[in-house]
Structure 1
Amino acid sequence: MGLGKSKIIRNLPDESQAALDYTTSEAGNPFVEGWYRDPGSATYDGVFWVYAAPSSASEDQTYIDSFSSPDLIHWTKHPNVLTIANVAWATKALRAPVPISRNGKYYLYFSANDIEEDNTGVVGGIGVAVADKPEGPYVDAIGKPLIGGYHNGAQPTDPDVFVDDADGKVYIYYGGHSHANVAILDEDMTSIGVFDNGTAFKEISPKNYGEGSKIIKRSGIYYFMWSEGGQASPDYCVSYAMADNPLGPFDRLGKILQRDSAVAQEIGHHSVIHVPDTDVWYMLYHRQPLSQSEENHRIIAYDRIYFNGDGTIQPVNMLVKDNFADGNMLDWTTYGGEWSVEDQRLAVKNTGGGMAMLDTDFSDLVFDATVATTSGNGHPGLLFRVTELSKETYKYKGYKAAISPTGVITFGKADLGTFTDLAQTRMDMAMGEEYHVRVVAIGSEIKIFVNDMDTAKITFSDESFTTGANGVRVFNAAAKFGFVSVAKPQSQG
């Protein structure tokens, strides 16, 4: 059950759009450019901040970058907010940044040196750095790890810091190697306190805990979340538990974010973005695109979290959208033609043939986009279930739903240069006018809608292609495409 009707915001938000009520990153995932992992987030004075480590070999993880946004659409990069030059004991594996503001200062908790065993004499673990402003520069606050050894079997890695509004206490959650701990941070934010029983670390490991601790509080309920499964395996995912206090017990309820063979793989190590003074929450996480096999080729993304009436969390649905409101086309690969983003549309100049493709693999789908021919007499349109394409000739195997400036709507299939018209119809159209095109493909039945989403212009049955990538295509035309969305039919979630 959702929390109100979502909407696409085309421009910077005005007062009526202050809730930032999106269904996903409406301008596309990834929402920033580059290979990144382990995102952490905070909101300072109405600005959203995301901190992330480079997704690279441990030896190359020597810095943290941050990104700021007033609207979760337009992002400004702030490079090297923390580097090993400002952490004397860190040499590598600088990652898992967690930001928080307290006492007029900005703190960044992090992992470094990737301590894999206890009592080895190697310095490393969880550190804390401090700065006078969100973009840093951050400097190591204590000259040594805040947590530098194993307690209760928990690897000192992947911290999260949480201020409980009930009593103002500050907690740090962390852990790896299947064990999770919670500890109290003293008022100075740079030292570990003790619980009433005199101990400093309390184990809270839920079933299947792996790494990536995260806690939030909503309506008096404490939600503890974590990643489980191997990072480079199909079972890597995010699960959660609920409790009535910050110390648990946290009994595992189930998975809420996992790989989707149509969208992305290796999903995990998340944070949460909460829009202040609303009940709008987003899952911020890293994932690997479907076409990538290199483990460190990860991107950061966010999708909406929805809560049920009883407070439980619905499985997070990774959506594929791009309204180009940020002026970028980060998740697109182009083949032929000159592509750019103009006025929140994906534009291509008149070309003999070209494609822009998303890294997806949908079988049954609902594929929406706006299409406008700006010059030429070709048939720009939507590609789906594309199984093969040539980078040299821009030819492909798959289906195309096209619309010409003279009003011809065509559904056909291509086989690396041989295009077969399967069905055609006609409607009144004008050069440059924008049309909403929708493809609904369920099994062999394929329907094409134009503007009227209640009555299909074309219905046809074909079994040539059952699954594949999505994109847009031009031939002998210049065109613009907008508000792209690819989703599974509602009955499939």
Structure 2
Amino acid sequence: MTVRTTGLPAKTCAVLLAGGLLVTLSPTPAAAAPAHTTAESGNPFVDGWYADPDTVRYGDRYWVFPTTSKVYAEQTYLDAFSSTDLVHWTKHPKVLSTPDISWAEYALWAPAPVERNGKYYLYFAANDIQNDSQLGGIGVAVADRPEGPYKDALGKPLISRFHNGAQPIDQDVFIDDDGQAYMYYGGWHHANVVKLNPDMTSLGTFDDGTTYKEITPENYTEGSFMFKRNGKYYFMWSEGGWTGPDYSVSYAMSESPTGPFRKIDKVLAQDPAVARGSGHNSVVNVPGTDIWYIVYHRRPLGETDGNHRQLAYDRLHFNTDGTIRRVEMRVRDNFADGNALGWKTYGGTWSAGGGRYRTGSSAGGKALLDTNFADLTYDADVTPQGRGGDAGVTFRVTGPGVGPDSYSGYYAGIGAGGKVVLGRADGGWTPLGSHELAIAPGSTHRLRVTAVGASIKVYVDDMTTPKISVTDSTYGSGATGVRVFGTAASFDNVAVSPAR
């Protein structure tokens, strides 16, 4: 992180730039701050398989530097992504590649960005060394611009050996308020902290003359990350196996950047309704605010390949005592980014643009998210275009295919012919309820479904009195999505959450 707030009163904000310069800024106006609850335009927020994201703010742009999530032999380059609003992302391909690093061959992992004295540094791990006789470890590259190109600064690793049992991988760089830079790193269930000298390419020593200080907390596996808020140091790490559903994030707090760090809680873990293998995170603050986001990777529920990981972010909330609340992986999509990442279509023609997800008329074309909700509250803005047919939401869906009723699950829709409908499909259609309602072609209506056990309720615009209320226990859980039948339509502001 190159921008750190110091916890001053709300009317002022002291910011320490990575070069050690302390400046006072007015807080970002509330209206301009991206106070999202999550990636409101959908997770994943960028396209492709990526992992281990580190996040930083340079000037007015947020930057994400991830690992390219492929088999080790193909992990030979690093991409970056930047955004001014955490919605629209620009891809910067191959900001660093192994041809630019004389000693690196593959397994280019966990880039950690930081700026100092007008130079941009990118720390990385390479070669996945298994012992001290192999060439590899943690290196550092440097560039004149955030997007690179980055070049190897040393011609050799900065850390090339195992110290205190820590594999030299998964580094994070943090610059404290006094200008001292630290690097936190380590795999194989051991974590170290080292001091970086002002040149950012050599290691300093601690007061006792040592270079490597072990700070391993309980259940540490890998993925170190450090940030500071209101004078407290927060050390985060990943637990479990990176290919398994138990991959997760825990944290500790300390009065010192070197610990001691005692585990407080697990803050991010898999959600069987949303994603698995959620871990290896970073944290970013909106300058001038107390708005924080956790950026991490996760594996879609339908993916079994360990490298099929995607980038996501959610809001990070703090309790009054400074501890962190457990993160809820929210499902949102307002299509403001102009894409429909994460959606899979079955029939029909679908496109995202102008802040909506659109489809032409078809006999049952649908688009689904890779979710598995049981009890849920599902909201969407639905705009049917024609007088015939209907458009709406599907839920508890399994076995989807192309065809009018080629899925198992429920559907609730509205039609410009003047009707709200609810039914279930399983290769055929079983009506469960309907309600007459004046709906004009091209008009947008808020559609809500609540499903708790066998109780299913459908609301339109009025969220206090359901238009349809039935009892049906045929389907217990499944994916969520949108669907049309005999009309073109558009969808917006999709939000799915567990029913409470």
Per the alignment, residue 215 of structure 2 pairs with 204
- Pairing of 1:154-233 with structure 2 (within 5 A): 154-165=166-177, 167-233=178-244
Match of 2:374 among 363, 384, 395: 363
Is 1:45 aligned with 2:59?
yes
Q: CA deviation at 1:342?
A: 2.9
Structure 2 CA distance for aligned equivalents of residues 289 and 54 of structure 1? 16
Q: CA deviation at 1:456?
A: 1.1
Structure 1 residues without counterparts, runs of 5 or longer: 1-13
Deviations 1:392-427 (A, max 9, x none): 6761110011111022111110111x1111111111
Aligned partner of residue 413 in structure 1, secondary structure: strand
Structure 1 CA distance for aligned equivalents of residues 290 and 122 of structure 2? 26
Q: CA deviation at 1:221?
A: 0.6
Per the alignment, residue 282 of structure 2 pairs with 271
Per the alignment, residue 11 of structure 1 pairs with none
Per the alignment, residue 476 of structure 2 pairs with 466
Match of 1:123 among 125, 135, 140: 135
Is 1:401 aligned with 2:412?
yes
390-399 or 402-411: bigger deviation: 390-399
Aligned partner of residue 73 in structure 2, secondary structure: helix
TM-score where L is the length of structure 1: 0.94
Q: CA deviation at 1:376?
A: 4.8
Report how many aligned residue pairs link the two structures: 473
Structure 2 CA distance for aligned equivalents of residues 60 and 17 of structure 1? 43
Per the alignment, residue 326 of structure 2 pairs with 315
Per the alignment, residue 146 of structure 1 pairs with 158
Structure 2 CA distance for aligned equivalents of residues 176 and 62 of structure 1? 20
Q: CA deviation at 1:15?
A: 5.5
Per the alignment, residue 264 of structure 2 pairs with 253
Deviations 1:37-62 (A, max 9, x none): 11111100110000112111111000
Structure 1 CA distance for aligned equivalents of residues 365 and 417 of structure 2? 20
Deviations 1:67-110 (A, max 9, x none): 11000000000000000011110000001001000011000001
User: Percent of pairs identical after alignment?
Assistant: 53
Structure 2 CA distance for aligned equivalents of residues 230 and 126 of structure 1? 21
Change (3 A) 1:408 1:457: same
Match of 2:301 among 281, 287, 290: 290
Change (3 A) 1:314 1:78: same
Match of 2:85 among 71, 80, 91: 71
Moved over 6 A (4+): none
Structure 2 CA distance for aligned equivalents of residues 233 and 65 of structure 1? 25
Q: CA deviation at 1:227?
A: 0.2
Is 1:25 aligned with 2:35?
no
Per the alignment, residue 458 of structure 2 pairs with 448
Q: CA deviation at 1:381?
A: 1.1
For the 8 Å contact 2:365–2:404, the answer to whether it is kept is: no
Deviations 1:410-469 (A, max 9, x none): 1110111x1111111111211110000000111111111100111111111110001000
324-333 or 275-284: bigger deviation: 275-284
Per the alignment, residue 15 of structure 2 pairs with none
Q: CA deviation at 1:375?
A: 2.1
Counterpart residue identity of residue 19, structure 1: A
For the 8 Å contact 2:350–2:357, the answer to whether it is kept is: yes
Deviations 1:281-304 (A, max 9, x none): 111111100000111111011011
TM-score where L is the length of structure 2: 0.93
Per the alignment, residue 237 of structure 1 pairs with 248
For the 8 Å contact 1:350–1:376, the answer to whether it is kept is: no
Structure 2 residues without counterparts, runs of 5 or longer: 1-27
